[in-house]
Amino acid sequence: MKMNQKDSEKVGWDQMSVGSQNRAMPKLMVWLFLFVSVTYVVYTLKLLSSSSYRGCDDGDLLFSTTHNRLSLPQSQPNSTASQPQTPNFPAETTPFKTRAQTRQNHHKTELKHVVFGIAASAKLWDHRKNYIKLWWKPKHMRGVVWVDSPVKTRPGEGLPRVKVSSDTSRFAYTNRQGHRSAIRISRIVSETFRLGIEDVRWFVMGDDDTVFVTENLIRVLSKYDHNQYYYIGSLSESHLQNIYFSYSMAYGGGGFAISYPLAKALERMQDRCIQRYPGLFASDDRMQACMAELGVPLTKELGFHQVGWWWFCAFFVLGIWLFAATESTRYPTRNSVSAGCVGGVLWFLLDWVFALCVTESTRGPIQTGFASLCCVGVLPFVPLSQLGVSLGTRFYSVPHAN
């Protein structure tokens, strides 16, 4: 009798424990939902109230970026003014232009004045070259794709010319977590400069999975005096990555731009600079180290985007509203210059999942590969083969024209 009573009490106690646990779960979910909602609201209000960002059309930046502009040595008063458009241009004859002359020349920067240097690898070339086709205009653009070993090319592909990077075995590389290809990639600016291309104002660097919106790129570069030292780019979208590497470095995944005089100065000292920093991880921080030695700070332009896996996590955890709020405040449509992808095996595993989602929403053909999706936005809602580039619903779209 006592045993039956104890058993019944035990069963009753177990039922009460299970019931209390079941009641605790909804409360936990409610508190978790409230925490995420409050965090989202606070973050959104902070973005909406922020007035530190300036768009591309906010006027002349000669006054706002004075602290980021370094002048070349001033020539003698009797020397004639000329622009550094050829590789053989002597640095000591570059004059200090007046503000009126600078404003007059700013609007004349065109796509023909820009040379692109694209970092690629022979192993991934057959796949990654399709991403370059999304934005490359063969009849209007100049540039070089730099690979680590020879690749097969076919005429009429609508791609930049391909060249093999020079040997970098003489440079030391001691970082155990990285790859020594970072040395080769960091020297692309200098190698592109040594080609002797004429009538150049800007060198724009990017990866083979970086998508550039050329109209926005030219508008951004036109704000700056190409006769001065300029190192233009943006930070990573990840706060943690910026802490680990640097808040003063242009992240190469989203691309960056270097003015012609600065590229000329960099070419003279970059090899010696690289030798002094064998322990650095990637090409980005090597470039920033050399810029620091030249005394050139980073001029930040938020239009250069490096899109990483954290954007996808934020998109799926917090939903489209967080993405839309962020895009409408921090990244105006007409200010987006580029988008670069940071990822690896994760993108390959999610390739077909995203492809199915986009196919269902677009009901049209999709450009091959997942990187063309992840590198041009979180979730494209239009056929990439028709638009060329489309970043979500609040980004920009650019027709693909040769």
List beta partners, residue 340: 210, 306
Q: Which residue has the higher pLDDT, 321 or 181?
A: 181
Q: Residues of 221-241 as b/e, b for ≥16 C-beta within 10 angstroms?
A: bbbbbbbbbbbbbbbbbbeeb
Give pLDDT, residue 137: 93
Give pLDDT, residue 39: 77
288-297, 320-329, 359-368: least confidently modelled range: 359-368
**In 222-308, which residue ranges form alpha helices assigned H by DSSP?**
239-244, 260-275, 283-294
Alpha-carbon separation of residue 230 from 91, 259, 265 (angstroms) = 15, 5, 11
| Residue-wise pLDDT tens digits, 54-96 | 333 333 333 333 334 444 444 444 443 334 443 443 333 333 3
CA gap 314, 312 in Å, rounded? 5
Give pLDDT, residue 321: 42
Can you tell me the mean pLDDT for 326-349?
44
Instruction: Report phi then psi at 234, rounded to 5.
Output: -145, 170
Cα angle for residues 98, 102, 107 (degrees, 5° grid) = 165
Q: Is the pLDDT of residue 329 over 70?
A: no
Give pLDDT, residue 36: 77
234 confidence band (pLDDT: 50, 70, 90): confident
| Residue-wise pLDDT tens digits, 242-273 | 777 777 788 878 899 999 999 999 999 999 99
44 confidence band (pLDDT: 50, 70, 90): low
Can you tell me the mean pLDDT for 168-173?
94
Can you tell me the mean pLDDT for 297-309?
80
**Tokens at 198, concatenated:** 């004429």
The CATH fold of domain 98-306:
Spore Coat Polysaccharide Biosynthesis Protein SpsA; Chain A (3.90.550)
Indicate the helix (H) or strand (E) that contains 306. Answer: strand 304-307
| Residue-wise pLDDT tens digits, 311-324 | 545 544 444 444 43
Mean pLDDT of the chain: 68
Helix (H/G/I), strand (E/B), else coil: 276: coil
What is the pTM (predicted TM-score) of this model?
A: 0.58
The length of the chain, given as a count of residues: 402
| Residue-wise pLDDT tens digits, 7-34 | 555 555 555 555 555 666 677 788 888 8
Q: DSSP letter string over 27-60?
A: HHHHHHHHHHHHHHHHHHHHHHH------TTS--
Domain ranges for the chain, please list them.
98-306, 309-398
CA gap 322, 244 in Å, rounded? 25
